[in-house]
Amino acid sequence: MKELDREYLLSTQDIDFKFYQNEKDFVVDEIPLGEFLGKGNYLILHVQKKELTTWDMIAVFAEYLAIPAQKIGYAGLKDKHATTTQYISVESKYEKLFNNFQHKQIKILGKTRHSHSIRMGDLKGNRFSINLYDVDAIDAGRIEKVARKIAKSGLPNYFGYQRFGREAGSIEQAREMIKGELFIEDAKLKSFLISVYQSYYFNEWLRERVFLSKEKESSEFVLLNGDIYMSNDGKLSTPKLIPSKEFATKKVVPTGLLCGRDVFRAKDDAAEIESKYDDEFLQEKGQRREALVYPSDIDCRYVKKETMLNISFMLPKGSYATVFLESIAGKNYSAKDVKLNKNRKK
């Protein structure tokens, strides 16, 4: 199993730029699902971390409070090589302990209360602010133009290279585990590898659907009979007729399969493609994932003397900023490409 290139809908010439995942050039701010009540039995902390995974940060707080990590709620995982903010929850009885909390990579930005703990998925999306380097004035304009086109027509919602580890080695490890050729005892690693397996097949399915759309010379995602759609409220449906009008107005979006049990599967023409990337024997619960997402609130600021363009935008939860940048550039990136060269003068 080898990860194939992620293909994109817009046929653009390569726009050459560089970006680096580090605390200065890659900033992520979590957007909560709704407002916190300001009262309740749970303490909500707005925290900033630098060069730490979310799990690393949770481990720091768990050790500081002398509680199991499972007692700390969080909505999503944030990039390690970045400056990120997010919300976590603990029981309110620990509030006074945070008055003396200090850590060189973690900062508490604010505190409030809520009626229940934060659960995985309790976020609306993330806002990104990313510096693109080696950009001339002409390409700065082209980048903004293409970004806005993608926001209008939709971004293929691939899992980014971060999902699969360095050299995509976790894909083969996941396949061996699913086939019973590799025994994994650690529950967290086992769960991660199952998600890698599901993500790999989703990406391959989406790649074929993007190719199909390009073969039909369409800059938009081509819909098929039997596709399963997700509405704005998260409900799934398989309409008898292709809902072209609802799709055009962004009321519904086609979905792809994260294979497993107890999940709706496509029918008719859509099923012919989807079945190639399915594993009905996988015991993990399956899901549907949006095939497209729509970046919003795009803002570009060019700094001529640094040949740097700062691009900021919002993406729905579970979507990858690096996938958006790949779509703009018309190329794939890897972890090696975005690692900052320490000799580079900034």
Are 155 and 292 contacting, i.e. CB atoms less than 8 angstroms apart? yes
pTM: 0.92
> What Rg value do the Cα atoms of the chain yield, rounded?
21
Is the residue at 230 inside a domain?
A: no
DSSP string, 125-184: EEEEEEEEES--HHHHHHHHHHHHHHHHH-EE-PPPGGGG-GGGHHHHHHHHHHTTSS--
The pLDDT of residue 2: 62
Is the residue at 153 inside a domain?
A: no
Q: Which domain CATH number covers 89?
A: 3.30.2350.20
Q: Are strands 83-91 and 123-133 parallel, antiparallel or unpaired?
A: unpaired
- Work out the end-to-end distance of the chain between its first and last CA atoms, rounded to an integer number of angstroms: 39
Is the residue at 337 inside a domain?
A: no
pLDDT single digits (tens) 205-232: 999 999 999 998 777 899 999 999 999 9
The pLDDT of residue 345: 45
Q: How many distinct structural domains can be found in the chain?
A: 1
Residue 125 identity: G
Are 154 and 312 contacting, i.e. CB atoms less than 8 angstroms apart? no
Q: For the chain, which ranges sit under pLDDT 70?
A: 1-3, 11-13, 166-168, 340-346
Sign of the torsion formed by the C-alpha atoms of 302, 307, 312 and 316: positive
The pLDDT of residue 191: 86
Are 308 and 132 contacting, i.e. CB atoms less than 8 angstroms apart? yes
Is the residue at 117 inside a domain?
A: yes
> What are the beta bridge partners of residue 269?
none
CA distance 221 to 155: 9
Catalytically active residues, by annotation: 79
Are 296 and 126 contacting, i.e. CB atoms less than 8 angstroms apart? no
Is the residue at 226 inside a domain?
A: no
CA distance 58 to 71: 10
Is the residue at 66 inside a domain?
A: yes
CA distance 151 to 31: 19
Eight-class DSSP state of 31:
E
The pLDDT of residue 170: 82
> What are the beta bridge partners of residue 287?
258
Distances from the Cα of 285 to the Cαs of 176, 259, 266, 268, in angstroms? 19, 8, 16, 23
Is the residue at 216 inside a domain?
A: no
Residue 91 identity: E
In which domain, by residue range, is 95 found?
Answer: 34-121
Q: Are strands 83-91 and 26-32 parallel, antiparallel or unpaired?
A: parallel
The distance between the two most distant Cα atoms of the chain, rounded to a whole number of Å, is: 62
The pLDDT of residue 141: 94
**Residues sharing a CB contact under 8 Å with residue 14, sequence separation 6 or more, in sequence order:** 329, 330, 331
Is the residue at 328 inside a domain?
A: no
